[in-house]
């Protein structure tokens, strides 16, 4: 148990005194960039999925003749 407490104390000390944290304004800006990229990427995937779904539906409706 003492080993676990020592580990937690050392981890806290490392995070508090030796880690360089990104300034809040930069972190917020980067969060917006990630959010915008995620939305654009999900819209692109949705668009490709919709096109492929329609092509497959057209194939089965017109060419194969399955309704």
Q: What is the mean pLDDT of residues 4-9?
A: 93
Q: What is the mean pLDDT of residues 1-13?
A: 91
Q: What is the pTM of this model?
A: 0.62
DSSP string, 13-37: HHHHHT--PPPHHHHHHHHHHHHHH
Quick check: 64 pLDDT over 90? no
pLDDT number for residue 63 = 83
Q: What is the mean pLDDT of residues 33-46?
A: 98
The 10s digit of each residue's pLDDT in 49-63 is 999 999 999 988 888
User: CA–CA separation, 54 vs 36, rounded Å?
Assistant: 27
Neighbour count for residue 46 (Cβ, 10 Å): 10
């Amino acid at each position: 148990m003492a080993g676990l407490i020592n580990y937690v104390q050392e981890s806290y000390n490392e995070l508090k005194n030796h880690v360089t944290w990104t300034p809040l304004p930069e972190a917020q800006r980067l969060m917006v960039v990630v959010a915008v990229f995620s939305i654009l990427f999900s819209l692109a995937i949705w668009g490709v999925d919709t096109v492929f779904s329609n092509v497959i539906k057209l194939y089965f409706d017109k060419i194969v003749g399955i309704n």
